[in-house]
Amino acid sequence: MPAKEKYGAQPPIELLRQWIDHGNWYDRKDTSEIKLTDVLFMSAMGPPGGGRNEITSRFTRHLNIVSIDEFSDDTLTKIFGTIIDWHFAKGFDGSLQRLGKMLVQATMVIYKEAMEKFLPTPSKSHYLFNLRDFARVVRGVLLIPSTHLQEGGKLIRLWIHEVYRVIYDRLVDAADRTKFFEIVKETTQSSFKQSVDSLCGHLSHSGNVRDEDIRNLLFGDYMLPDADPRVYDEVTDLKQLTTIMEYYLDEYNQMSKTRMSLVMFQFAIEHISRISRVLKQDSGHALLVGIGGSGRQSATKLATLMAGYDLFQIEITKNYTAVEWREDLKRMLRKAGTEGKPIVFLFSDNQIKNESFVEDINMILNTGDVPNIYASDEKAEIIEKMQAVAKQEGKKLEATPLMMYNFFIEKVKQNLHVVLAMSPIGDAFRNRLRMFPSLINCCTINWFQAWPEDALEMVANKFLEDVDMTAELRGHCVTMCKLFHESVRQQSEKYLEILNRHNYVTPTSYLELILTFKDLLKLKRDEIMSMKTRYVVGLEKLDFAASQVSVMQVELTDLQPELVKTSKETEKLMVQIEQDTVEVEAKKEVVAADEAVANKAAAAAKAIKDECEGELAEAIPALEAALSALDTLKPSDISTVKAMKNPPSGVKLVMESICVMKSIKAERKPDPGGSGKMIEDFWGPSQKLLSDFQFLNSLKAYDKDNILPAVMKIIRSKYTCNPDFDPNLIKNASTACEGLCRWVRAMDIYDRVAKVVGPKKEKLAAAEAELSIQMEKLNEKRAQLKEVADKLQALNDNFDMMVQKKKDLEANIELCSQKLERAEKLIGGLGGEKDRWSEAAMLLSERYHNITGDVLMSAAVVSYLGAFTVDFRQECISEWHACCQEHIPCSDIFSLNATLGEPVKIRAWQIAGLPVDSFSIDNGIIVSNARRWPLMIDPQGQANKWVKNMEKHRKLAVIKLSDPNYVRILENCIQFGQPVLLEGVGEDLDPILEPVLLKQTFKQGGVDYLRLGENVVEYSPEFRFYITTSLRNPHYVPEVSVKVTLLNFMITPLGLEDQLLGIVAAKEKPELEEKKNELILESAKNKKQLKEIEDKILEVLSSSKGNILEDETAIEVLSSSKTLSEEISAKQVVATATEKEIDATRNGYKPVAVHSSILFFCISELANIEPMYQYSLTWFIDLYLKSIGNSQPSDDLQERILILNDHFTNSMYRNVCRSLFEKDKLLFSFILCVGLMKGKGKIDDDAWRFLLTGGVALDNPHANPAPDWLSDKAWSEIVRASGLSNLAGLFKHVRENTGLWKQVYDSATPDKAIYPGEWSRLAGLDRMVVLRCLRPDKIVPAVQAFIVENLGQSYIEPPTFDLMGSYADSHCCAPLIFILSPGADPMASLLKTGQDMGYRGNMIQTISLGQGQGPIASQMIDAALKDGSWVVLQNCHLATSWMPKLEKNMRGGDHTGEDQLQVPAVAH
């Protein structure tokens, strides 16, 4: 620090030096002087080395340098011994205090041994140790309280645990870990006088403790989740620990929107425990180092929950910059400082959009603060809040801003825990550790190893436990999963070694394998069982139809006589029914006459009855009203009336009427008026009457139908006619008398009605008696009629039954005939399918048995092998298949296509542009079956073309990361279920894509949603995402590769041959190629229809309930479907025959396609020589088309093939040579020559390999026969060359004829010399191999001669630069690019060529690129697009940032035919 820039200077140091030298700086805006006065400069730095740079002496000459040595052993013992003594004085046993002193010495030994034995290297750049590591061990020992530490053995185990956590956890490989275990073992014995075996014997089954056994030694505070406080203690029960961890995981999943599907195997538990230990300590920070998918973030999230802390993570968006980063940091620091909340800041290296992020984290780790992060108002707010916090906590601090801010920093250090998740892949990790030392100094480092075998096994068992298979088979599947994982890891190392291509195997890959296996196994099992069931049901229906034919024929024969017999019985019944009907009709007439008389009498009786009831209806309501009025009277009301001494006249009047009604006589008394006459007085009798308790009841029970006429006469003459005898008037005198008055009046009304109704009732009784007599007679006759009618009905019922029986028989005969006809139709139509269906059902049964192994292999291919080339992929599959066949049922020959492929879908893919070779088909299958979105390595654009055609009908959206609105397009497509193609990505993907790649959806209201950056969008299940890169050999780090399915879509020879054959056939025989393409489409359509028809037939057969022969609709559907199927099959036979004829003619040009394909792969190899030598398939095909058009025509096919091959080879040689450095042109000719000869089988691969490498150098057991002229190296090569089939015995001949061979060696032209003896016949590569051994300096002329002999003289004479020829080979979308040597300038030649072609004046625009020239160049190009002029861009190397824009113009521009872009650039 600080880093040196391009020219070796250190700008910050230079600025400081300028100030020390001159006492001022300059303002960058107006160049005014900035002076600093009264400043004392102090600085500190580590010694140079280990990533720290030397400081220029021009700066150090101004400073007094003070060196600080490392602390001596005594000083360290004093420091840490004091701390340990202070701790163990707090209630610990005295023996533990003595052990504490030994513990400090033991830690010092470990610390020094670690610094000595584990030195930093480029791959182990984190092997740096300092006093903070010593302190971390001691601080770890201090975590356990006296209540839980009573014996010395436990203290030593705690110490072992802590040194393991601080030092062991960062170690990279097994050798270092074993070495550290031995150091700890020796130190424990020497310092504590106790062996590790005695202390930790309970951790090992054998009692002999090994390094792996120390994995079981765990301390933590998480065993009692609800304890307060939680105590750091030894974990003694690992099973209980697993249960506790699963409890925490369940709790996390209940609280979090995104669930974690973790298996709590020991490896995961160990890492969670390690992180928990770090979080328990103040200023505890962790650096988790491991490849993507190793579980770093999952372990941190769970450990955070266990500690009860808040998790803080930044969300990367497309526009996330340093401004947003600083805002996030401020929010986090305020939460930890002012709010006092414990926070875990989880930050991964794929979130580093700017290296300044790491610089800020470096400062937070070291000081708990980022300099100048807060504005003055924000700082004032913090200070204000901290004053309140200090007051609340009772801290007696000065309320100065400085003290409060320091208190804030102290709180941040106490509450903030930074956990960094970084990948060790590439140089970035090493560079960051070097640039930012706090990443090591302030963090406990935890290196995530590859999962051990027990972890792989436990995970597989856990996920496969619910799969329907035997325990034995499940065990074999788990074993195979482990084999896949390990073999791909080894294959990846080999892949890197041989092809220099990277592929990473991560735990995520393993999980994807298991989950893919589960998903695909269920899918394929269901699919096969469904298909088999449909075939079996179809066969059952056919067998049933066949078995029913004879049964139905017998049934038809038996039904005919029964039909005749039934017809005769029906006719007899008809005669009998006619006779009985006449008798019944006569009886009906008699009964009808009697019924009429009876009805008349009944009507008269009813009229009288209705009249009586009508008149009674008038009296009854009044009577009922009177009775209800009586009900309302109470004994008290009666007593009131009775008690009256001088009652009102109304009361007397009512009571008189009551006495009259009751026939009670009045008392005769003298007239109170003094007339002297005797008058009748009813009041005395009334009082007596009222005294009767049954008075009211007697009125209610009054015999209203038999009232004496004399009584009614008195009532009518004296009372009811009296106006005072009105209930409403009486009411005023007495309410009781009102009711009695109403009763009297009701009796009057009723009696009047009864007198009228009485005679009518008598008349009614007489009428009813007469009616009864008539009804008896009528009923008698009705009974007779019923008897006759019942007899007739029985005959009719019998007749109906016979008629129905006859109809049923006729219907049965008809149905039987129809069923016979349908059965014959069904058997005739589908009978031919019986054998095929039977075979298909049998094959499906066998396939169902083998599907477990096939799907397991397929899942491994999908999860692991996408990134490999065809040879590596096939090698893995062969190895796996051999192992799989031993224990798991699987097919004899494994094919991904046979297991997961769908022929109709694959045909559609090929029509859309997928190459026809099996490798490409497998890629297509992987794309459609992988759980993760595909990232296709597609340098030739094959995948791009395929995806665009395949998804065109679904409105595919094509985006690039450079598009300004690509996130908006992606959001819309996710929401509406449209496919998206992200093309042209580099080695890094935008972090905003992570939720899409990981499919981090969550449910809300039953709908799936996904958070993309700051927005939440609805997630459609129809959404598809494809990613392609045009990079030839990209290096995707695990953090990227675990999120996608990497697929190598580089074209194969077979796929390219098919494309080239199609192109040459279309050019040479356009009508045939057109017909061929039509037939391909027709064939695909026919096969699709045939498949759909068969599915329909089987569906109808399966879904038909009961007897299929009774389902006319089903039979008609089956019949029409079969007819259509036969028509299509006939068409397909014709189409296939025609296609074969076309292919026969078309394949006549196959030698051209094979030859051209070889040429393409020859030029593809040039990229291994120089990265610039990369040629696109588009360019190659364009050249191929031009060559076909420009070559000499011929009617003779063989001659035409030779012409095409020669012309294209020569054309490609000239074009490629134009772009090669001079030194590589001969090498290219040689590669071309050998490639073409290989294609013809004229090259011995062993000889070719030997010529290139000289063979594998081993110890040479044969002594050099002529050391005076033959070097040992040359002799060793001769001995190794003798192992080649054509050179067997060479070294013996050389040994026996050294003189003859010396003549060859001494020859001026050994490449033309004749070799001695039998070796004179050597030619070609074999001759060059011998020359390589003897005189490697003459290989060049030998190669030239070899090329002339096999290709021709022109291939060793590269063409001179021809500008017009180059122009002719280019076009408006393929510009000319000049790679210039210093001093070369093609401008004059370019301008002259332009003038010769008519481009003068403004028709040729030139611009020298540099800062700010890009937009001007864009305007020039836009103008040239319209008017067809030339644009010359000079010095392109000075505008590298503008090159992507230029590329976009070249790819997406709508160019006119005349527009041409010339791009000169200087090679650099």
- For residue 1371, what is the DSSP state? B
Distances in whole angstroms, Cα of residue 1233 to Cα of each of 1154, 1159, 1163, 1227, 1358: 15, 9, 12, 10, 14
8 Å CB contact between 949 and 908: no
What was the pLDDT predicted at 544? 65
First-to-last alpha carbon distance for the chain, in angstroms, is 30
8 Å CB contact between 332 and 360: no
Say whether the peptide bond before residue 727 is cis (omega within 30 degrees of 0): no
1026, exposed or middle or buried, with CB in 10 Å at 0-12, 13-18, 19+? buried
DSSP letters, 1202-1270, are HHHHHHHHHHHHHHHHHTS-HHHHHHHHHHHHHHHHHHTT---HHHHHHHHH--------SPPS-TTTS
3-state percent breakdown (helix, strand, coil) of the chain, nearest 5: 65, 5, 25
Query: Are β-strands 1024-1029 and 1045-1048 bridged in parallel, bridged antiparallel, or unpaired?
Result: unpaired
Regions of the chain where pLDDT drops below 50: 1453-1459, 1465-1468
Candidates 275, 284, 282, 280; CA nearest to 411 is: 282
Read off the amino acid at residue 1219.
S
Residues contacting residue 477 through CB under 8 Å, at least 6 positions apart = 460, 464, 469, 517, 852, 856, 888
Rounded Cα distance between 292 and 1, Å, is 29
Q: In sequence order, what are the beta bridge partners of 1431?
A: 1405, 1461
Rounded Cα distance between 1033 and 937, Å, is 8
- The whole-model pTM stands at 0.72
φ and ψ at 1434, to 5 degrees?
A: -105, 155
1287, exposed or middle or buried, with CB in 10 Å at 0-12, 13-18, 19+? buried
8 Å CB contact between 937 and 1050: yes
Candidates 480, 522, 498; CA nearest to 853 is: 480
Helix (H, G, I), strand (E, B) or coil at 312: strand
Residue with tokens 């001969």: 1226
DSSP letters, 615-639, are HHHHHHHHHHHHHHHHHH--HHHHH
What was the pLDDT predicted at 641? 75
Say whether the peptide bond before residue 437 is cis (omega within 30 degrees of 0): no
Angle between helix 918-929 and 870-887 (nearest 10): 70
Tokens of 815: 């149905």
Query: Are β-strands 416-422 and 286-289 bridged in parallel, bridged antiparallel, or unpaired?
Result: parallel
How big is the chain, counted in residues?
1468
Query: For the segment 658-710, what is each residue's pLDDT rounded down to a tens digit?
Result: 888 878 887 777 777 666 677 777 777 877 777 777 777 887 788 877 788 88
773-806 as b/e: b if 16+ CB within 10 A: ebbeebeebbeebeebeeebeebeeebeebeebb
Candidates 98, 211, 190; CA nearest to 200 is: 211
Q: What is the CA radius of gyration of the chain?
A: 55
8 Å CB contact between 330 and 373: yes
Candidates 300, 308, 246, 297; CA nearest to 278 is: 300
Q: C-alpha 1375: how far from its chain's center?
A: 42
Q: Which region, left, alpha or beta, applies to residue 1107 given φ > 0 means left and ψ of -120 to 50 means alpha?
A: beta
Helix (H, G, I), strand (E, B) or coil at 923: helix
Angle between helix 870-887 and 471-499 (nearest 10): 160
Rounded Cα distance between 1354 and 1232, Å, is 13
Distances in whole angstroms, Cα of residue 453 to Cα of each of 218, 261, 849, 879: 20, 19, 29, 20
Residue with tokens 């006319």: 1112
1150, exposed or middle or buried, with CB in 10 Å at 0-12, 13-18, 19+? middle
Query: For the segment 791-806, what is each residue's pLDDT rounded down to a tens digit?
Result: 767 767 777 776 776 6
Rounded Cα distance between 446 and 568, Å, is 104
- For residue 1438, what is the DSSP state? G
Read off the amino acid at residue 354.
N
What was the pLDDT predicted at 266? 85
Query: For the segment 858-914, what is each residue's pLDDT rounded down to a tens digit?
Result: 999 999 999 999 889 999 999 999 999 888 888 888 889 888 988 888 888 988 989
CA-angle at 403, arms to 398 and 407, nearest 5°: 115
Distances in whole angstroms, Cα of residue 131 to Cα of each of 137, 170, 361, 1241: 10, 16, 21, 68
Candidates 402, 398, 486, 409; CA nearest to 450 is: 486
Read off the amino acid at residue 112.
K
Check the CA dihedral 246-251-256-257 and report its sign: positive
Candidates 86, 137, 783, 220; CA nearest to 444 is: 137
DSSP letters, 177-226, are HHHHHHHHHHHHHHHHS--HHHHHGGGSSSS---GGGGGG-EEES-SSTT
Query: Are β-strands 934-937 and 1430-1434 bridged in parallel, bridged antiparallel, or unpaired?
Result: unpaired
Candidates 683, 681, 672, 678; CA nearest to 646 is: 683
Sheet containing 1007-1012: order of strands: 1001-1004, 1007-1012, 1015-1018
Distances in whole angstroms, Cα of residue 898 to Cα of each of 471, 906, 925, 1340: 27, 11, 11, 50
Read off the amino acid at residue 578.
E
Q: What is the helix (H) or strand (E) element at residue 95, kind and residue range?
A: helix 94-117
